Each structure stands twice: as structure tokens, then as C-alpha cells.
Amino acid sequence: MQEIIRDIKTNAEYIKIKHKSGLTILVWEMEGFSSSMALFGTKYGSVNTTFKTKADKEYTSVPEGIAHFLEHKLFENEDCDVFELYAKTGANANAFTSFDKTAYLFTCTGNFKESLKILLDFVQAPYFTKESVDKEQGIIGQEIQMTNDNPNWKVFFNLLDSLYFEHPVKIDIAGTKESIAKIDADLLYKCYNTFYNLNNMVLSVAGNVKVADILEIADSCLKDSPDLEIETVFPKEDLNIVRKTTEHIQPVGLPIFNFGYKMQPYDGIDKLKAETITNIIADILTDTASPFYKTMSDRGLINSSFDCEVFTVDDVFTLIFAGESNDPYTLYKELNKVIDEAKVKGLDKVHFENLRRENYGSHIKQFNNVNSVAEMLLADYFADVNSFDVLNILRELKFEEVQDFLVNNIDTARSAVSIVASKHIEVSI
């Protein structure tokens, strides 16, 4: 079954296919481009530690880090290393595990069909043994130690630990040395057979490709999968925070900070609209064109590292400001003052309109980049939206909606500070 997803205003389009195997396939044919990218992803990430299928009576809980562990192990099959196969086609292959998804991917300028066959074959052919699992525990243990030594990684997870009481988002994607020690081949097969069901996956392809070629390979490689109806649950969180400040001592130049504002989580199109609005609010208040940025820069409280993002996972929605500062607590107080004043005095309407247009143009610009398109298709599908929904949101977005959202959703009292510094900083909040 094929469906054309089209944006009437821009005439951009891609094809959505529900394959007989159960897999959803998304294809954006980009005529005139020489490269191609394919991602084979599953809606399974580090936060999916408690789950069941329609056939299960009870929930299963697994150790943190198992999704990332599984990603590593799938690259080894019974016969050879998958990268050796890609070396013969000339494709560049990789994979990633995030909080809520895992994806295996390749980019190429030739031999697309051969590379796609490799991708579909190896992801559907797990091979785990006690010996290989034991070996991987040592490798990933070293990786965990390296990330623990990374100050930017540490300040981020310390922030999440300050904001969320029980949600597994506060645990490193790779888990802990203690949690991965509990992983064995049986648990890996359990998670694989649950989440690597084709009904829980998507194949996203963009670039110099044809739908007919993709379906030819899919028909020959994909194994029919019954829909397991997976259910993942998370501990209930309210909007209270765990603690206001977290400080970690580690050798750095300037202190590194993350300020996090815990907000109400959303799903689907509501989440996309809330993300879009929150990003615009943050930019109005703090981007390089804002009075706040100029004042803080003139006072030496921020530098070019200052940035913000909206961080979302299932049941998690947080606005985060990050960067370096020689006085992060003063900066945090000044930021809160700007947020609270904007609730009363209002946002800059001209700045809003400029940002709305700028974001609209930036999104359309992504349509000219093969990798951006393929990654966008996958992320949007798992977010339960189509890749043109954000354009419609930006076209219709009103200033009054943004102002109301700020007043009702961003609360400085529900925020926390995480700092990594080379020595203790006197808390002044």
C-alpha cells in the first residue's frame, strides 16, 4: 500500500509504503543528486526498559543500556563483520542509539541496491553468544568511563538527574558498568524479538533512489512479522524537580553549565507544536539579536558557546540552556529575570515574526540535503507526525499563541542548574 505525502505550498513530496512484511518504508526520490542515504530504525532506545507485548501477562524490566548494547552486537554476524561487507560496496555505514530510537544506516554514491540488501539482511540476523557478550561488556564499560570523563556529557546527565525522579532518561544511554554486567544473550534476544519486529520499525531512504528498486530488495529480504502491539511504560513524573543545583568538580577551563526548565510533556502533533513554540520563545529571549545576549556578552557572562535546545523523549519535555560562564549562577538569575519579565511585559512581536519566517526557510532548506531528509523522515515517523507538519505549524502560528504558551508552560520555579567546574562555586540562588 503506497501513499504520497505532499506539501501543497512547496510541491515537495515523499512516498509512504506499508510493506506486506509489516515494515513502513519512506522514500524521498531526489532527482539530480548523486548520493543516497538509508536508515533502518526501530522505535527502541535507552528509556524503553519496561515493556510488554499483547501476548505477555506481565511487564518485563531489563537493565539500563541494553538497547545500546544490542546495537553494538548486531554488527557482528555468524560469518563476518558487517563493515567488511560494506567495504566491498564502497558504502559508509554507521549506527546510533538515542533515548528513544536505534538506527542502522549507510550513505553511498553507487551500489545502492547491494548496500541496502546488506542493511536489511544483517539487522534481521541477530547472533549473540556468551563469549561475544562478555567481550562487549568490557568494550562498552570503557566507553561508559570515557563519557563519564566528558564534562559536557556529565553536566547534561546531572541536569536530567536534577529534574527527573524516576524516569530512565536520567540514566546514560550506554547504561552503567553495573547495569551492563547483568546483560546476557537471552536478554538480548528478548529485546531484539520484541522491538526489532518490523511493525515497530521504519526504513527511511532519500537521494538518488527509485521506489521500485527499494521494493525489489525489500520483497526479497524482509521477513513477515506479526504485530506484537508493544507497550512501554514509564514511572509517573509530576512537574516538581529533584533538586535545584548539582555541581561536579572536574578539570575544565571555564565552568560549564546546563539550565533546565521542566515542562509538561506532549505527544504527536501537539509535541511538535510545543517544540516549535518553545524554540521560538527561547530564541526571542536569548539569541544573538536579543538584548539579553548583548548584555550578558558585554558583562562577560556568556560567550559563543551559549546555546539552547528543546529536549524531548516519551514523557519528557525540557528546555535547556547550555554553555560556559565564569559566573553561571548570576547568569541563571538574569535568565530567569528575562523569562519572568517577558510573561508580564510580553515578547518582541517583530522578533517573533522574523524567527517564524527564518525557521520556515531553514526547514525548507533541509529538503536540499540528502542526509537531512533521510534523518528527518525517520525522526518524524517515530514522532507520529509527517515531515511537512512543521511547515503548516509555522505558517499558521500566531504571536498570541506563543505569548500564552510562555505564560502557561515555562515556570522558572521548576528549573535546575547543573555545573561542571574545576573548583567549587559559591551558590548564589
Q: What are phi and psi of 97, to 5 degrees?
A: -120, 130
Tell me the pLDDT tens digit for each residue of 44-77: 999 999 999 999 999 999 999 999 999 999 987 7
Q: How confident is the model at residue 299 (pLDDT cuts 50, 70, 90)?
A: very high
What is the percent of the chain where pLDDT is above 90? Answer: 93
Single out the residue of 66, 69, 41, 72 nearest to residue 51, CA to CA: 66
Please say whether the beta carbons of 37 and 105 come within 8 A: yes
Instruction: Give the count of alpha carbons within 13 A of 95, CB side only.
Output: 24
For residues 308-313, give the mean pLDDT.
97
Instruction: Give the count of alpha carbons within 13 A of 24, CB side only.
Output: 19
Question: Which superfamily does 2-232 belong to?
Answer: Metalloenzyme, LuxS/M16 peptidase-like (3.30.830.10)
Average pLDDT, rounded, for the chain? 96
Q: Which has the minimum average pLDDT: 50-54, 80-84, 162-166, 320-324?
A: 80-84
Asked if 71 is an active-site residue, the reply is yes
What pLDDT is recorded for position 291?
A: 97
Single out the residue of 267, 269, 252 nearest to residue 316, CA to CA: 267
User: Is it true that 2-232 and 245-421 share their CATH fold?
Assistant: yes
- Is 76 or 180 the better-scoring residue by pLDDT? 180
Domain segments of the chain: what residues?
2-232, 245-421
Q: How far apart are CA 47 and CA 195, in angstroms?
A: 13
Regarding the domain delimited by 245-421, which CATH topology (the fold level of the hierarchy) does it fall under?
Cytochrome Bc1 Complex; Chain A, domain 1 (3.30.830)
Q: How far apart are CA 61 and CA 164, in angstroms?
A: 19
Active site residue: 64, 71, 76, 375, which one? 71
Tell me the pLDDT tens digit for each residue of 203-256: 999 999 999 999 999 999 999 999 999 999 999 999 999 999 999 999 999 999
For residues 90-109, give the mean pLDDT.
97
What pLDDT is recorded for position 177?
A: 93
Q: How far apart are CA 340 and CA 387, in angstroms?
A: 34
* Distances from the Cα of 310 to the Cα of 107, 254, 284, 316, 384, angstroms: 28, 24, 14, 10, 18
Single out the residue of 110, 95, 114 nearest to residue 44, CA to CA: 95
Q: How far apart are CA 68 and CA 98, in angstroms?
A: 8
Please say whether the beta carbons of 69 and 126 come within 8 A: no
Tell me the pLDDT tens digit for each residue of 328-355: 999 999 999 999 999 999 999 999 999 9
